Amino acid sequence: MESNLLKIKFDKVDIRQLNPLTLAFVGDAVYDVLVRTYLINKFQSISVHNLHVKAIKFVKAHSQSEIIKRLEKQLSEEELYFFKRGRNAKSGTVPKNADIQEYRFATGFETLIGFLYLTGEVDRLNYLFEFIITLNDKGEF
């Protein structure tokens, strides 16, 4: 049996059946890989520790909350639907370093990223990530 996990794609009917926290689980990992790839490309000669410090700026709940607030107006109805599903999901965990509203917005953001990745909307994911990089370069999170 041959399988290529990078080519697995969910259709939009199936993706609506997934728990939004499952989408956030995937979205968290995908976003982390995007951030790390971007950082090693931009800062090839800095230490891993400094890369990690820079990555935290992107992935912490406060930053993700600020990012999604700026992205919200650019989202399609479907993207907004998945963001809201994630934001409103009850996770059962209490955030350590963020208030509950930031944590929920961050979960919604990760749900959106998971949705885009699992449905194979790579161009849209790339567009949004480019927007995030622009926000970072302007110091907006």
Task: Determine which one of 11, 14, 28, 99 is catalytic.
Answer: 28
Least Cα distance to 70 among 128, 116, 8 occurs for 128
Tokens of 64: 């993700």
Cα 7 from Cα 116, distance rounded (Å): 13
Taken in order 17, 79, 52, 56, is the CA torsion positive or negative?
A: negative
Tell me if residue 32 is catalytic. Answer: no
Tokens of 91: 């996770």
Residues 6+ apart with CB under 8 A from 40: 51
Most distant pair of Cα atoms in the chain: their distance? 48
What is the rounded (10 degree) CA torsion for 107, 113, 117, 121? 150
Active site residues: 28
